[in-house]
Amino acid sequence: MLDDPEAFIRENTALQPVPHAPEIRLYVADEITPIWKMTEDALGAMGISPPFWAFAWAGGQALARYVLDHPEMVAGQTVLDFAAGSGLVAIAAMKAGAARALACDVDPICRAAIAVNAEANGVVVESTIDDLLDRPPPKVDVILAGDICYEKTLSDRVLKWLQAARAAGVTVLIGDPGRTYFPKSGLEQLAQYEVRTTRELEDYEIKRTGVWTLPD
């Protein structure tokens, strides 16, 4: 594990506006940043998993845009950003007037990424690396989940957990660009965006990305 993950992030990424939510800036990877050129093996030798936190994923970008444009969804509310990565969605929620945002991600470096990104945007975001899927959903008003359906096991677990949260009265919003394990039914679409991402991660540079809610 890195001695100083916040310094590592600042030194190896660049603070840049998020394409679909440019009022937010994140420490991310691009062609000119050192982390772009590091192989998975080199990162692994430093104790770093693939750095999902170094990108603003299409699902998170769409969700951030939606929250910024619909502040009434989160204003004054307690929000959980599930699978937060960089913390983008939690930051958007705080900028939109949330009372409190907790960001969770099981990758320990995300805590540092969330901290440096929240600071860069002048907001406070709490974070945890506990796997919240192992327990009943927390007592929050809103759960925001950006880009969580890229892998079957995670997708199955998280969708069941989000349904339990919805049954307990929590508002659930999901941002998704049509990932393989995104469910084909049972969700209501609230918005659709054309989100710019990178060909290093995606098949297309522009990804059509939806924001969805779990209905009652």
Ligand X SMILES: C[S@@+](CC[C@H](N)C(=O)[O-])C[C@H]1O[C@@H](n2cnc3c(N)ncnc32)[C@H](O)[C@@H]1O
Q: Which residues bind ligand X (CB under 6 A)?
A: 52-53, 56-57, 59-60, 83-86, 88-89, 104-107, 110, 131, 133, 146-147, 150, 154
* Closer by beta carbon to ligand X, 6 or else 107: 107
* Closer by beta carbon to ligand X, 23 or else 216: 23
* Closer by beta carbon to ligand X, 38 or else 105: 105
Query: Minimum CB separation from ligand X for residue 84, in Å?
Result: 6
* Closer by beta carbon to ligand X, 52 or else 182: 52
Rounded CA gap, 56 and 36, in Å? 14
Query: Minimum CB separation from ligand X for residue 90, in Å?
Result: 9
Query: Minimum CB separation from ligand X for residue 31, in Å?
Result: 19
Question: What are the residues whose beta carbons fall under 8 Å from the beta carbon of 39, sequence distance 6 or more?
Answer: none
Q: Among 134, 65, 128, 51, which residue's Cα sits nearest to residue 93?
A: 65
Residue showing the smallest CB distance to ligand X in the complex: 60
Rounded CA gap, 87 and 175, in Å? 14
Q: 């030798």: which residue's tokens? A: 45
Query: Minimum CB separation from ligand X for residue 33, in Å?
Result: 17
Rounded CA gap, 5 and 186, in Å? 39
Query: Minimum CB separation from ligand X for residue 178, in Å?
Result: 13
Dihedral angle of Cα 42, 53, 197, 185, to the nearest 10 degrees: 120
* Closer by beta carbon to ligand X, 119 or else 151: 151
Packed helices 5-12 and 109-120: angle between N→C axes, nearest 10 degrees = 60
Rounded CA gap, 52 and 209, in Å? 18
